[in-house]
């Protein structure tokens, strides 16, 4: 069964979806099950991927993430209580976002090469 806010990716066409209503046992795209994206927060790539919250700013990792055409952060998302807000990025952007709140309880981001990451 899917859970609220899970991220799934189609390994064939690259579609990415976020669950906003819990339900189906499996999500399908291109006639194949979509892959759930596990929220990483530690490991080999954490220093360039795990979000860091600094007041109302979220930046990616303790070492700045590349923002090149083939490798970049697609989006960042913050949670404030039960609410969330996303900021979309593109190659060439700085890998950070400033939000209009300082009550950020958690953050996560998606790298087009290394998947989904969250803060500890």
- Domains in the chain (CATH in brackets) are 7-36 (2.20.28), 46-118 (2.60.40.730)
pLDDT of 28: 95
pLDDT of 20: 92
Q: Under a CB-based contact definition with an 8 Å cutoff, are residues 118 and 46 in contact?
A: no
Q: Provide the 10 A C-beta neighbour count for residue 101.
A: 12
- Residue 96 CA, chain-centre distance (Å), reads 12
Stretches where the chain sits below pLDDT 50 are none
Q: Under a CB-based contact definition with an 8 Å cutoff, are residues 74 and 110 in contact?
A: yes
pTM of the model: 0.91
């Amino acid at each position: 069964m899917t859970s609220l806010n899970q991220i799934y990716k189609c390994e064939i066409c690259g579609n990415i979806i976020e669950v906003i209503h819990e339900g189906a046992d499996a999500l399908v795209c291109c006639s194949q099950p979509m892959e759930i994206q596990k929220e990483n927060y530690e490991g080999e790539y954490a220093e360039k991927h795990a979000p860091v919250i600094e007041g109302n700013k979220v930046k990616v990792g303790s070492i700045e993430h590349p923002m090149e055409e083939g490798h970049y952060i697609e989006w960042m998302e913050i949670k404030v209580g039960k609410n969330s807000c996303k900021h979309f990025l593109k190659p060439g952007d700085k890998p950070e976002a400033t939000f209009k709140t300082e009550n950020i309880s958690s953050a996560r981001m998606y790298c087009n090469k290394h998947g989904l990451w969250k803060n500890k």
